[in-house]
Each structure stands twice: as structure tokens, then as C-alpha cells.
Structure 1
Amino acid sequence: MTLGELVLFFLLILTGIQFWRIRSISEQAYEQIGHYCKTHQLQLLSVARQRTRLSFKYGKIDWLSTFAFEFSGNGEDRYTGHVDMIGKRMIRTNLPPYKI
């Protein structure tokens, strides 16, 4: 095995590990957004990851992800909120004004 093959092998392993890490972050975001909506008596309609990039904030290198989620306050209207996460930790939630 040459050095080039070894580097390629480690890059493939690292890519796979990061793929599973981002999947895990998405699943955690879905759970946390669901809990947030339940706490505030909102109906969660959908969750989608909009953007993911590496961040050097908050003392360590981790993924900064932005999620958009649709919710309803009264069961008739649909609103879009946004959540920012560093790794598996929710750092910011932004919701528009909505009808109850």
C-alpha cells in the first residue's frame, strides 16, 4: 500500500464519519425542534436542513447547521421558523409572529 492509497483510504473513512455526524445532528435537530414546538403548543409540520458548514466558534471546530421548520399555531396557517445549531446544541431559534 502506497502513501497515496493510505491517504485516500483515510479521507474516505473521514468522509463517512462526517456524513454520519451530520445525519446525527439532523436527527437531534428534529427532536429538539419537536420538543420546542410541543413546549410552545405549536404543531410541527416539517423540518429541513438548509445549510451546514464548519465553524470555529464556541471553542472548538464543529458543524454550524441552519434548519428551517414549518409549524402552525392554530392548525390552519403555516409559518416558517429557523434554528441554528453548533454540533448537537441549539443556539438560536427564530420564529415569525404567528396566530394562536
Structure 2
Amino acid sequence: MSRKPSYRMYLELSDIIVFAVLAMIFMIWWHGFTIRQLAISHAKRFCKERELQYLDEGIALSFNAFQRNRSGRLNILRHCQFEFSSTGEDRYQGNVVMLGRTLVEIKTPAYRMPEQNNWLN
């Protein structure tokens, strides 16, 4: 009788640690990607509601700090910069503030409103 070789896979502690670190890196990247997409949708909605032009189809995401939300859970506070135009000839920077997946506020500088119909003439 010949014995069939038995192939068993043994995981070492170092293998588990490497896998856990890679999984954590992927989760952090995925969370950042999700927050970025949410911030873009908030910025686009903000611009559309105010008849502004959202520029460059992008947003700059930055980590700022850890902060607790209303329920006491620790989340990442992020400031996301986007660019918009009010007339098509100018360029302004706005800021979307996100706490975790929740929109905190959208800040913009004072911007020039596009001229409507010249009703004075």
C-alpha cells in the first residue's frame, strides 16, 4: 500500500499578522474612498442648489483629527476641498467637513453671483 501524501496548510503567526495588516490597509483605503464619494455628492448637490458650477470633478481629502459624534462614537473628522465657479470665469475653493460618514458643514468664501437679467434698463 502506498500512502497518499497529505498536504496540510499551516499558518504561522507571522502569516496571520501580514494578512491582518493587509486587510486593515484595504479597509482604511475603502473607507476613505467611500467618504470621498460622499463628500463629492454633497459638494455637487450644494453647487446645484445654488446654481454654481462644480469644477474638476474631484475633491481633495485630508485627515484632520479623531472626534466623537453625537452618540459618543469615535470617528475621523475630515476636511475635503472642492472648487466651484459662480460665473464660469472665476474659481473658488469650498470645504466639505465630514465626521465619519456624516456631513457636518459646507463652507465657502463669499463669491460673486452671476448676473441675471438686467432689470434696471
TM-score normalised according to structure 2 size: 0.74
- The CA deviation string for residues 70-98 of structure 1, in whole angstroms up to 9 with x for no partner, is 11112211111111111222102211111
The aligned residue for residue 56 of structure 1 is 67
Q: Percent identity?
A: 28
Give 4+ residue runs of structure 1 displaced > 4 Å after superposition.
none
Bigger Cα Rg: 2
Alignment partner of 2:38: what SS? helix
Q: Which has the higher helix share?
A: 1
> 1 CA distance for matches of 2:90 and 2:64?
32
Query: Which of 6, 22, 25 in structure 2 is aligned with 1:15?
Result: 25
> Deviations 1:11-45 (Å, cap 9, x if unpaired)?
11111111111101111111111001101111111
Measure, in 2, the Cα distance between the counterparts of 1:81 and 1:22. 19
Pair 6,53 (structure 1): closer, same or farther in 2 beyond 3 Å: farther
Q: Give the drift of 1:63.
A: 2.5
Secondary structure of 2:15 counterpart: helix
Query: How far does residue 5 in structure 1 lie from its aligned partner after superposition?
Result: 2.2
Give distance in 2, aligned partners of 1:54 and 1:19.
Answer: 17
Gaps of 5+ in 2: 1-10, 114-121
Q: Is the aligned partner of 1:92 residue 2:102? A: no
User: How many corresponding residue pairs?
Assistant: 100
RMSD: 1.6
Equivalent residues of 1:54, 1:61 under 8 A apart: no
Q: Distance in 2 between matches of 1:60 and 1:5?
A: 32
Whole-Å separation in 1 of the counterparts to 2:15 and 2:75: 27
Query: What SS does the corresponding residue of 1:56 show, helix, strand or coil?
Result: strand
**TM-score, scaled relative to structure 1:** 0.87
| 3-state SS in 2 of match to 1:93 | strand
